[in-house]
Amino acid sequence: NAGVTQTPKFQVLKTGQSMTLQCAQDMNHEYMSWYRQDPGMGLRLIHYSVGAGITDQGEVPNGYNVSRSTTEDFPLRLLSAAPSQTSVYFCASKTGGRSGANVLTFGAGSRLTVL
Amino acid sequence: AQTVTQSQPEMSVQEAETVTLSCTYDTSESDYYLFWYKQPPSRQMILVIRQEAYKQQNATENRFSVNFQKAAKSFSLKISDSQLGDAAMYFCAYRIHIYQGGSEKLVFGKGTKLTVNP
């Protein structure tokens, strides 16, 4: 049971390049999400998904695309990277439902630098 | 707007002493959850403790406890017998549900950096 796995852990891009941050979980969690963490800030929600084929926008979705073709995977795509997207990205997942026992499991984070 | 405020950017404590980290939040909902997360230098987000808003009893997890004041919208974290391994960023977070079916998001504060002095 690996939990939530994010790849790559580090990435440097040039402005305008595209890339995909991968996220996979092996816990059969329905809910998956992407957050970004900027210096001096807490985490902010980018996109989330409540199940395969269902995605929705969070607080800061501009510049990012997501898809959920399987329960296990939830990739985050940057179509044209900008310096403002320099950040640490976290993927997190949990089982569905409102119970307080259903808490997010976070990946280890991916540090992205856009030059 | 849903907000979480941590008024202490940095705190320090002596090893074996007790420290309290402050958190206030703003919500109009009656059903919600509050969390404290720890982020050590490894940057892994680790759940420290959770509190259901409908429960009056304060949550406790070993050396970690909360003081939940619902009317004041306050949710402070107390760390007893501080250890060197407690040094980290601590984030207070508030969970809101967007609509039925499990959609939700966590709203985070900006964090408090805790230093533990030997």
Q: What is the pLDDT along chain A (115 residues), one digit of tens a residue?
A: 679 999 999 999 999 999 999 999 999 999 999 999 998 888 999 999 989 999 999 889 999 999 999 999 999 999 999 999 999 999 999 887 666 667 899 999 999 999 9
Q: Is B44 within 8 Å of A45 when comparing Cβ atoms?
A: no
pLDDT in tens, B44-60: 999 999 998 888 899 99
The answer to whether B54 faces chain A, any CB pair under 8 Å, is no
C-alpha A29/C-alpha A71 separation (Å) is 7
Query: What residue type is B15 in one-letter code?
Result: E
The answer to whether A6 and A108 are in contact (CB under 8 A) is yes
Task: Give the closest-approach CA distance of A80 to chain B in angstroms.
Answer: 26
CA A90 – CA A48 distance, rounded (Å): 12
Contact between chains at B33 and A40 (C-beta distance less than 8 A): no
